[in-house]
A and B are shown apart, each in its own frame.
Chain A
Amino acid sequence: MSSRTILGFCRGFLFCRGLLLCTGILFFTGAVLAPSALHAQASQLQTSNPRKAGGQTTNQASNGDSKGAPADFAGVWYPSTGSTLGAATPDNPGQQFVWLDSEGKPLKGPLPLTAWGQERMKANRPTGPRTTSIDSDDPDFRCFPSGVPRIYLFLYPLEIVHTPGRVLMLFEYGHVIRQIFTDGRGHVQDAEPTWMGDSIGHWEGDTLIVDTTGFNDKTWLGYGGQPHSDALHVIERIHRIDHDSLMIDITLDDPKAYTMPLHTQKKYILKPDWNIMEFVCEDNSLNFLEYEKKVRIQP
């Protein structure tokens, strides 16, 4: 057994041990301590992260909505590679979303970028015919969280968990956790921008409406380097179209980067027998980056 294999095995063991520990803590917290912990968190948020006027206090988190939610999306879901996954086109390079116009028809031509957006897209270096990942500045290759909605483009499952006052999205890819607060609070004000944004949700019938702001401008909307700004505002309507299919209707409003709102959809397929597995991006350095150096295309 080579030293590299031993190193990989040891790292894998440590990661697994860490994952088990984290899972245990999460379960214990969710099952036993959730009400008190959320109450404490709420109190802290009220003082350190004041919410917009109109948003209810986070104390209501302890009321819980896992039982009262009109729909239950709990389970492991796999992203469909069908009609809601777009192929690269000359105008919109890279595997991506199928962007729709206001009538729900596929958007033709390039994305409606502002001058600022065009500059950003021109500056980005996505993978392409002459750019391999080793020369790309795609934030994904540096193991940064993928942002919303790009995280939906990766062909790995996500698990949805309902907890009192929150719906959690546990993404296998990169082990990103997204919290959607459904306790009536508003958005965090004056918060430091984040990779996955600040998400709040509410129910309209059996549809979960998720409103996300507070993004940084470092993630892309797709593999082609499609940019967004820190003004990005994402609204998602998550609903079941049948028992085994979840549809996420997505609207992006980013007036700094795009001249009009963008619409797209992402479909997920229920995988009742699956569990989320470990995926640690930093494992890249163990073999993938060496392979990429080997197959690099010289610009």
Chain B
Amino acid sequence: MKFKLPLYFIVGAAIVSAGLCVASLPSSAHHGTAEHDNSKTISLQGRVTTLQYLNPHALILFTVKDDKGQTTEWTAELQSPNLLSRRGWSRSTLKPGDQIIVTGHPVKNGAKAMSGQKVVFTDGRETPNMGLPPDSSK
């Protein structure tokens, strides 16, 4: 069954990375990037089920509702909690029920999963940057 994305989702698929406002993060250095298609970026609006703030990668579990009202569980893989914490994240940055928009790269195998590159709340609030320390490329 092909998943149909609702109209109010911001969906950008098959967009070259040069055209994106969200730059790909360097590899988290824990595992490869084989599973994610970095040539594509999608943005999904959903409701947070839980934020699993565990090493080596934090995971956002969130539900996405399509235009028929059907909900699907998605997972967004983030950097490690250690790296996130140093940018201002904590285990309570996202709470169950929060309405968020997650932007990132989908996985290649069609599973409802993505690498999370940016997370914002639907009310306009932003979460801290998820990148490596800003001076890390010195």
Q: Which positions in A face B, CB cutoff 8 Å?
A: 2, 5, 8, 78-82, 94-95, 126-133, 136, 140-141, 153-156, 172, 223, 245, 267, 269, 271, 274, 277-281, 283-284, 286-288, 291-292, 294-298
The reply to whether A81 and B59 contact each other, CB–CB distance below 8 Å, is: no
Per-residue A-contact encoding for B7-40, CB less than 8 Å = 1, 0 else: 0000000000000000000111111111110000
Shortest beta-carbon distance, B54 to chain A, in Å? 5
The reply to whether B138 and A245 contact each other, CB–CB distance below 8 Å, is: yes
Contacts A82-B136, A297-B35 aside, 4 further interface pairs with beta carbons under 8 A come to A5-B50, A245-B138, A287-B52, A297-B34
The reply to whether A127 and B29 contact each other, CB–CB distance below 8 Å, is: no
The reply to whether A295 and B107 contact each other, CB–CB distance below 8 Å, is: yes
Name 19 A/B residue pairs within 8 A (Cβ), A-sorted: A81-B26, A81-B132, A81-B137, A94-B32, A127-B33, A131-B34, A136-B32, A141-B31, A155-B26, A155-B29, A156-B83, A269-B135, A278-B55, A283-B54, A291-B59, A294-B75, A295-B35, A297-B108, A297-B109
Shortest beta-carbon distance, A286 to chain B, in Å? 5
A136 to B35, CA, bound (A): 12
Q: For the complex, would chain A's binding face be called helix, strand, loop or mixed by DSSP majority?
A: loop
A-B contact count (CB 8 A): 116
From known contacts A129-B34, A141-B31, A297-B109, infer whether A156 and B82 are also in contact, taking CB-CB under 8 Å. yes
Shortest beta-carbon distance, B31 to chain A, in Å? 4
A283 to B133, CA, bound (A): 23
From known contacts A82-B137, A297-B108, infer whether A155 and B28 are also in contact, taking CB-CB under 8 Å. yes
In the complex, B56 has a CB within 8 A of chain A: yes
Chain A residue contacts of B54, Cβ below 8 A: 8, 283, 286-288
A245 to B137, CA, bound (A): 12
Q: Which positions in B face A, CB cutoff 8 Å?
A: 26-36, 50, 52, 54-57, 59, 75, 77, 80, 82-83, 85-86, 107-109, 111, 113, 132-133, 135-138
The reply to whether B136 and A78 contact each other, CB–CB distance below 8 Å, is: yes
A122 to B132, CA, bound (A): 32
Q: A80's contact among B29, B34, B137, by CB below 8 Å, is which?
A: B137
The reply to whether B55 and A127 contact each other, CB–CB distance below 8 Å, is: no
Chain B residue contacts of A127, Cβ below 8 A: 31-34
A5 to B57, CA, bound (A): 15
The reply to whether B138 and A126 contact each other, CB–CB distance below 8 Å, is: no
Shortest beta-carbon distance, A246 to chain B, in Å? 12
